[in-house]
Amino acid sequence: MGIAAWREQLNSGEVSARELTDHHLARIEAVDPTIHAFLEVTADRARADADRIDAARAAGEELPPLAGVPLAIKDNLCTKGIRTTCSSRMLESFVPPYESTVTERLWNAGGVLLGKTNLDEFAMGSSTETSAFGPSRNPWDPDCVPGGSSGGSSAAVAAGEGLAALGSDTGGSIRQPASFCGVVGLKPTYGRVSRWGLVAFASSLDQVGPFATSVADAAEILQVIAGADPRDATCLKAPVPDYVAALRQPVAGLRVGLVRECFEAEGLDPEVKASVLAAAAQLEALGCDLVDVSCPRFNDGIATYYVIAPSEASANLARYDGVKYGYRAEGAGGLAEMTSRSRAEGFGDEVQRRILIGTYALSAGYVDAFYKKAQQVRTLIRRDFNRAFETVDVLLTPTSPTTAFRFGAHSDDPLAMYLADLLTIPANMAGLPAISVPCGFDSKGLPIGLQLITGVLEEERLLQVAHHYEQAAAVMASRPEAALVP
């Protein structure tokens, strides 16, 4: 059931908010021991939220747009009075005294908090395997990863444990898990959504966005969370358009660019390539014009990212020193030893690896050779996109080179893991909005994702094209018989 259909049932009194909430809490109880999408389930809070909605409806009050919608929140978004751990021992006992802007807007819009979802530690990873509290599993095949870093949020939506969820995307951490789990994942333009209350990974790349089972539901969530925020200096002041109304606009005549470098990328699974090209043909059948375009530095994005993102992470995570807040090692002999031991014991291997890479890239004698050079390449990537959008309206690529891989497949090879974000990172480097939509299944029955990218603040067009494709393709109507956990 989508959000619009739920709203009709709530307004008619056919189903109460409490009934919908209890349904999802029962679903979590039934499947989450297998999926482990949630780190904390806020059942009492959820029922109280739902009861307030039902009381307001009974009193004849006008209900807000997300009234009674059960939502899951990635555990790197601060929720007042509810633990926010970033899946790290470093913040295992952290309870924020304030609410993030995006979650505050969801609660003001009537959303119901089901709980906080698992992620790769401090959002650093592509499989949710780096979580200090154990990995989440893919509902399509529990032996496979759900992607990352927002794997808990994507798995929760795919397994029916919530109508929608929030995640964060630094280099593909919404779109890649959405592709692996067969749901819709949207990364807005950098600055379209406030980052206030999002625990920082890489401040020039992080952006909050929704997971949903349909493009229409993603548009509903974005409508609520987008917009200026005086508490976030990087948040844009541009007006928020009507994203839901944009879905109804026709797509005939729009120019869709197939990025040549993506379809020639090393490691692209033939089944993924065939499925995405079939999706492009579907858009052509809807009246779009397919155009072959080149973004020569597209595949340079990953090398650039793994200099810039760790450098910013090194600066952001310097605050976790065992003094101000976070984990503190016991029995240390002095400040230097306490800081060293606190970080060694509080951070996992992947977080430590990225801190070391970033610190090295920013060190004297190397900052010009690595960090400055990476920023220059970032500018060239943005220029490639600008040139492409002079000739097309939207770009089309696979979301990920492969479908979901099995647990441990890349545990001994971090570089192979990093390549999972090869096709999603460039949109973050340029600050562009992008969406992943299911476009098929491989021979093992695992979902395949199609990525669409548009220009800055062109989420209307992005959602418009994605919605028309989704409606025409009806991918989930032909999903494999054995799909998803029971």
* Rg, C-alpha atoms of the chain: 21
Residue 136 is a catalytic residue:
no
DSSP code of 396? E
β-sheet with 207-212: strand ranges across: 38-41, 112-117, 70-74, 164-169, 207-212, 184-187, 434-441, 447-453, 394-398, 255-259, 289-293
Catalytic residue among 16, 126, 149, 342: 149
Residue 237 is a catalytic residue:
no
Q: Which of 334, 440, 431, 417 is nearest to 379 (CA)?
A: 431
Q: Which of 169, 150, 122 is nearest to 319 (CA)?
A: 122
Catalytic residue among 16, 74, 179, 342: 74
∠ CA 86-87-93, nearest 5°, is: 75
Q: Is 314 exposed, middle or buried (0-12, 13-18, 19+ CB in 10 A)?
A: buried
Q: What's the rounded Cα separation, in Å, for the pair 37 and 194? A: 24
Distances (CA, A) of 451 to 80, 181, 216, 303: 34, 14, 16, 20
Give the DSSP per-residue string, 336-349.
HHHHHHHHHHHS-H
Catalytic residue among 131, 154, 168, 173: 173
Q: What's the rounded Cα separation, in Å, for the pair 453 and 461? A: 10
Please check whether residue 167 is in contact with residue 177, taking contact to mean a CB–CB distance below 8 angstroms.
yes
Give the residue ranges of DSSP H helices in 101-182.
101-108, 151-158, 175-181
Q: What's the rounded Cα separation, in Å, for the pair 275 and 253? A: 23
Q: What's the rounded Cα separation, in Å, for the pair 241 and 338? A: 50
What is the sign, positive or negative, of the torsion defined by CA atoms of 417, 124, 196, 377?
negative
Residue 154 is a catalytic residue:
no
Q: What's the rounded Cα separation, in Å, for the pair 251 and 91? A: 46
∠ CA 360-151-440, nearest 5°, is: 115
Strands (E), 214-287: 255-259
Please check whether residue 420 is in contact with residue 258, taking contact to mean a CB–CB distance below 8 angstroms.
no
Q: What's the rounded Cα separation, in Å, for the pair 149 and 347? A: 16
- Structure token pair of residue 249: 């606009």
Q: Would you please indicate which residues are annotated as catalytic (active-site) residues? A: 74, 149, 173
